[in-house]
Structure 1
Amino acid sequence: MAFPSAPSVLWSVSLLTALFAAEVHSNIVYDDDPFQPVTSDETVSVGGTVTLTCRVAESDNSSLQWSNTAQQTLYFGEKRALRDNRIQLHRSTSTELSITISDVQLSDEGEYTCSIFTMPVRTARATVTVLGVPGKPQISGFEKEVQEGHKVTLICTSAGSKPPARLRWYRGDQELDGRPDVVESVPDDPTYKVSSELTLEVSRSDDNAPITCAVDHPSLAPGDKRSEQALRVLYSPAVEILPESDLPREGEKFHLQCLGNSNPEPHSYTWTKKDGELPPLSKADGAFLRFEMLNKSDNGVYVCEAVNKIGRGQGEYTLLVQDPTAMSTSSGVDHAVIGGVVAVIVFILLCLLIVLGRYLIRHKGTYLTHEAKGSDDAPDADTAIINAEGGHSGAEDKKEYFI
Structure 2
Amino acid sequence: MSFSKHHYLHIFYYDLLYFFKILETSVNVLIIIPPVTQDETVAVGGVVTLTCNVKENDNSSLQWSNTAQQTLYFGEKRALRDNRIQLVKSTGTELIITISDVQLSDDGEYTCSIFTMPVRTARATVTVLGVPGKPVITGFEDAVQEGGKVTFTCTSSGSKPPAKLHWYRDQEEIQGRPDVVESNPDEPTYTVTSELTLTVTRNDNNALIACAVDHPSIANGDKRTERPLSVLFSPSVSIQPESDLPREGEKFFLQCVGNGNPEPTAFVWRRKDGELPPMAKVDDAFLHFESLNKSDNGVYECQADNGIGMGDVTHTLLVQEAGVNAADPTVITTPSGVDHAVIGGVVAVIVFIMLCLLIVLGRYLIRHKGTYLTHEAKGSDDAPDADTAIINAEGGHSGMDDKKEYFI
TM-score, structure 1 length as denominator?
Answer: 0.72
Alignment of 1:40-55 (within 5 A): 40-55=38-53
2:17 is the alignment partner of 1:37: no
Q: Say if 2:151 and 2:197, in contact at 8 Å, map to a contact too.
A: yes
* Structure 1 residue 49 displacement after superposition: 1.0
Of 311, 315, 318, which aligns to 2:316?
Answer: 318
2:250 maps to: 252
* Structure 1 residue 34 displacement after superposition: 5.5
Describe the SS at the equivalent of 2:188. strand
* Structure 1 residue 138 displacement after superposition: 0.7
Gaps of 5+ in 1: 1-29, 334-403
Q: What do the CA deviations read for 1:230-275 (whole angstroms, capped 9, x no partner)? A: 1122221111101011001123221101011122221210001223
**Following the alignment from structure 1 to structure 2, what is the Cα–Cα distance between the partners of residues 268 and 123?**
84
Q: Say if 2:150 and 2:197, in contact at 8 Å, map to a contact too.
A: yes
Alignment of 1:341-352 (within 5 A): none
2:272 is the alignment partner of 1:288: no
Matched AA of 1:124: A
Task: Report runs of 4+ in structure 1 exceeding 6 Å deviation.
Answer: none
Of 126, 134, 137, which aligns to 2:135?
Answer: 137
* Structure 1 residue 180 displacement after superposition: 1.1
Matched AA of 2:231: V
Matched AA of 2:63: Q
**Following the alignment from structure 2 to structure 1, what is the Cα–Cα distance between the partners of residues 210 and 61?**
55
Describe the SS at the equivalent of 1:36. coil
Describe the SS at the equivalent of 2:189. strand
Between 1:214-223 and 1:46-55, the stretch displaced more is 214-223
Of 185, 193, 196, which aligns to 2:194?
Answer: 196
**Following the alignment from structure 2 to structure 1, what is the Cα–Cα distance between the partners of residues 112 and 71?**
10
1:228 maps to: 226
Q: Say if 2:29 and 2:118, in contact at 8 Å, map to a contact too.
A: no
**Following the alignment from structure 2 to structure 1, what is the Cα–Cα distance between the partners of residues 230 and 75?**
65
Q: Report the identity percentage.
A: 71
**Following the alignment from structure 1 to structure 2, what is the Cα–Cα distance between the partners of residues 58 and 234?**
77
Q: Say if 2:29 and 2:117, in contact at 8 Å, map to a contact too.
A: no
Describe the SS at the equivalent of 1:212. strand
TM-score, structure 2 length as denominator?
Answer: 0.71
- How many residue pairs get matched? 304
**Following the alignment from structure 1 to structure 2, what is the Cα–Cα distance between the partners of residues 191 and 180?**
19
Describe the SS at the equivalent of 2:295. helix
**Following the alignment from structure 1 to structure 2, what is the Cα–Cα distance between the partners of residues 318 and 66?**
90
**Following the alignment from structure 2 to structure 1, what is the Cα–Cα distance between the partners of residues 243 and 33?**
95
* Structure 1 residue 223 displacement after superposition: 3.9
Describe the SS at the equivalent of 1:275. coil
Q: Say if 1:34 and 1:56, in contact at 8 Å, map to a contact too.
A: no
2:190 is the alignment partner of 1:174: no
Q: Say if 1:216 and 1:222, in contact at 8 Å, map to a contact too.
A: no
* Structure 1 residue 204 displacement after superposition: 2.2
- After superposition, the CA RMSD in angstroms is 2.0
**Following the alignment from structure 1 to structure 2, what is the Cα–Cα distance between the partners of residues 47 and 35?**
35
2:83 maps to: 85
1:274 maps to: 272
* Structure 1 residue 43 displacement after superposition: 0.2
**Following the alignment from structure 2 to structure 1, what is the Cα–Cα distance between the partners of residues 284 and 82?**
78
**Following the alignment from structure 1 to structure 2, what is the Cα–Cα distance between the partners of residues 315 and 32?**
97
**Following the alignment from structure 2 to structure 1, what is the Cα–Cα distance between the partners of residues 64 and 97?**
8
* Structure 1 residue 85 displacement after superposition: 2.0
**Following the alignment from structure 1 to structure 2, what is the Cα–Cα distance between the partners of residues 61 and 223?**
48
* Structure 1 residue 33 displacement after superposition: 5.4
2:262 is the alignment partner of 1:264: yes
